[in-house]
Chain A
Amino acid sequence: MTEKISRKDFLMAAGASLVVAPMALEGLDRGQRAPVQHLGEQKAVVVDVTRCIGCKACQIACKGWNKLPAEKTEISRDGEFTNPKFFSPITWKIVRFKEIGDYDEDTAGTGGLKWRMLSDNCKHCLEPSCVSVCPAAALWKRSDGPVLYDLDRCVGCGYCTMACPWGVPRFDDELHAIRKCTMCFDRIDQGLEPSCVSVCPTDALQYMNLEEARRVAADAEANGLYTYGVDEVGGTSWIYISDVPFSEFGLPEYSTVTQKGYESDILMKFAGAGLFVGGAILAAVKLYAERREAIMKNDSEGGN
């Protein structure tokens, strides 16, 4: 027996769908976003560790321009002066301080211990992992450098925080969404340099075209210096030059493979392993079934 829907129920259902449907459609009608927004030539920032004096002006300028509040910090007991030590939703730029080597009284002032500082933030990858993995197209890459995000689209899954090779996007527990350095796109749009670059007193940070930045990096390499960001994960918009290895600053070694290449590699190997394992399971099941059949046959013959 079928039940009739009452007029009241019908009106309630119709009313509810009139409220919910536009909200749902509004959520989806923005469509897919292209991962790259074309806005001119790719720019870059060269960070020269050999010039950095650790004044933290860049860190302060970042806070100031982006109106990011201060956060409670503490003096580290492990001999470092990096403060805050890690990125956070309200700290997008940190200066990593590193003592390298051991103090030697015999060579005081000339050798042994070295102080090095590295101004660190989002590397604004040329093919960003965060953009690649975001299910909501909330992150995207501008052709002139910045990797940006749209909080209206963010689903708060936190996938980008795991996918970023440097753990840059940080999860904001109040917004339930991520925040990170924007390369001061709002300054770039007005023909200005990123705020951290603009305040550096020693030109340890320099804003230029990517091609030029790569030439500077190549020259540095030719002079026996280390570089970082030219090839790592397909290249980044922030290119670092140093006279000490970047592992000293905790920057991991990465190949030139981009996120998409990395995903393809994992998927192909998984498929290979899957075929092998699947075959092994099927063979084991078949063997077991045959054995079971043989035992049952023996039992029934024995019974007869």
Chain B
Amino acid sequence: MTAREATKMSELVWGPLMATYLFLGGIAGGAYLISALVDLFKGEDYEVLSKSGALVSTVAVIASVVVLLAEIKRFMVEPLSFLNAFRQFPGSMISVGTWILTSLLIISVVTVILAFFGGNWLIRKIVDVVGIVLSLGTVAYTGLVLSYCRGIPFWGSPFLPALFTVSGILTGLTMAMLMIPVAAYIMPKALNSFWELYERKASYVGMIGQTEKYCQILTVVEIVLLALYIGTTPTTGILLAGSSVSLLFYAYIAIGLLLPLGIGYFNSRLEHQGKDMMIVLSAMIGQVMVLLGGFILRYVVLVGGQLIH
């Protein structure tokens, strides 16, 4: 029995708030990635998605920092201690993450400002490209930060950061889709674009259908990576049976992976039947499930790693 085997739920160093931090980090990176890609490669019909992505990214980064501070609590003893987290760049993965998240926040805010006030085409494209690099770094960071922990073999797999990267992109895209009405309300320019889009219902439903296809591709890749992660990391076998987190793990597979795939399939069958409202509603249900699944995945991996050895 090793020292950490005695860890109980009440003694977790990294608990649900840390899982939320990783979840929000993934959403922030994923949402910005989608926002920039859409801005670079899609037409004006997708403008709302791009702006929603930037807004989601901004809010998610800020929320993730708040959640992280609430988790580590050291600021209650040393108020400015968090500034020390910038020190060991690029030596420590947490330092790398701190710099990347800060940079992503700046880029996201700039993107939102450009969305509000308009801006030079070239500047927008440069911001997009820089943001793509940062957002990929962010989603990768949320997994790498765990897999560098040598004391926890459960996390010591290169497939874990790959899994978190794909899951981060998926949850980011999903949250950006879900928040389109909110983004449209906050940003008047996007609002016009949204109403135009909404009036042309076929285009709006078409966008939902198309993003669902991308979500399905990402979900299938996530399933493959999950299988590789479990198959190649010795202690992850316990996830399948015999541990307190098994149930949550199965919930993640059902809620975060299989049901959204089913809903996507269901929606694709409805596409040409004129049941637009049904498509919009079921897509939203699927999106909420993907987000719930994304959080459960991080919770299961984070807590499971500390409890199982």
Residues of chain A touching chain B, judged by Cβ–Cβ distance below 8 Å, are 23-24, 26-28, 32-33, 35, 85-87, 129, 132-138, 152-159, 161-168, 171, 175-177, 233, 250-252, 259, 262-263, 266-267, 269-270, 272-274, 277, 280-281, 284-285, 288, 292
**A156 and B73 contact, Cβ closer than 8 Å, known pairs A132-B91, A134-B92, A168-B3:** yes
- Give the residue name and chain of the A residue nearest to B77 (CB): A176
Q: List 10 A-B contacts (CB under 8 A).
A: A23-B80, A28-B83, A28-B86, A86-B4, A133-B149, A137-B84, A164-B150, A166-B151, A270-B147, A270-B158
Binds A, one of B57-65, B93-101, B120-128, B276-284: B93-101
Of all chain A residues, the one with the shortest Cβ separation from B94 is A135
Tell whether, in the assembled complex, residue B84 and residue A285 are in contact, meaning their CB atoms are under 8 Å apart: no
Query: Which residue of the partner chain B has the closest CB to A158?
Result: B13
Given contacts A156-B74, A158-B13, A274-B165, 8 further A-B pairs with CB under 8 A are A23-B80, A129-B150, A154-B74, A154-B78, A155-B85, A177-B77, A250-B2, A252-B153
Residues on the A chain within 8 Å of B6, using CB: 85-86
Cβ of B147: which chain A residues have Cβ within 8 Å of it? 266, 270
| Residues of chain A lying within 8 A (CB to CB) of residue B31 | none
Q: Which residues of B contact A23 (CB under 8 A)?
A: 79-80
B53 within 8 A of A: no
The residues of A that contact B13 with a CB separation of less than 8 Å are 158, 161-162, 171
Contacts of B210 in A (CB 8 A): 292
The answer to the question of B40 belonging to the interface, with a C-beta cut-off of 8 Å to chain A, is no
User: Please, which residues of chain B bring their CB within 8 A of the CB of A292?
Assistant: 210, 213
Known: A129-B150, A162-B13, A171-B13. A135 touches B85 (CB 8 A): yes
Q: How many residues of B contact A (CB 8 A)?
A: 60
**Judging by beta carbons under 8 Å apart, are A262 and B3 in contact?**
no
Pick the contact of B84: A87, A136, A284 (CB < 8 A). Answer: A136
Query: Who on chain A is nearest to B95 by CB?
Result: A135
Which residues between 273 and 307 of chain B lie within 8 Å of chain A, taking CB atoms?
306
Q: Which of B13, B153, B159, B217 has the most CB of A within 10 A?
A: B13
Cβ contacts under 8 Å, B84 to chain A? 27, 135-138, 153-155
Q: Are A165 and B162 in contact (CB under 8 A)?
A: no
Cβ–Cβ contact B218 & A135, under 8 A:
no
Chain A residues within an 8 Å CB radius of B140: 270, 274
**Residues in B neighbouring A285, C-beta threshold 8 A:** 214, 217
B79 to nearest A CB, angstroms?
A: 8
Interface pair B151/A164, CB less than 8 Å apart = yes
What 5 A-B pairs have minimum CB-CB distances, sorted nearest first? A156-B74, A269-B158, A136-B84, A167-B4, A162-B149
CB of B172 closer than 8 Å to a CB of A: no
Contacting residues, chain A, for B158 (C-beta < 8 A):
266-267, 269-270, 272-273
Question: In the bound complex, do residue A27 and residue B1 qualify as a contact, i.e. CB atoms below 8 Å apart?
Answer: no
> Which of B95, B151, B156, B306 is in CB contact (< 8 Å) with A266?
B156
Let me know if B195 is at the binding interface, CB within 8 A. no
Q: Verify if B201 is at the interface (C-beta below 8 Å from A).
A: no
Q: Is the CB of B3 within 8 A of A32?
A: no
Nearest chain-A residue to B18 (Cβ)? A158
User: Inside 8 A of A162's CB, which chain B residues have their CB?
Assistant: 13-14, 146, 149, 151-152, 155, 306
B80-A263 in contact (CB<8A): no
| Known A-B contacts A87-B3, A135-B88; A177 and B74 likewise in contact (beta carbons under 8 Å) | yes
A24 to B78, CA, bound (A): 12
Residues A277 and B221 in contact, CB atoms below 8 Å apart: yes
Instruction: Indicate if the CB atoms of B161 and A159 lie closer than 8 Å.
Output: no
Give the chain A neighbours of B143 by CB distance below 8 A. 270
- Taking the nearest CB of chain A, how far is it from the CB of B226, in angstroms? 12
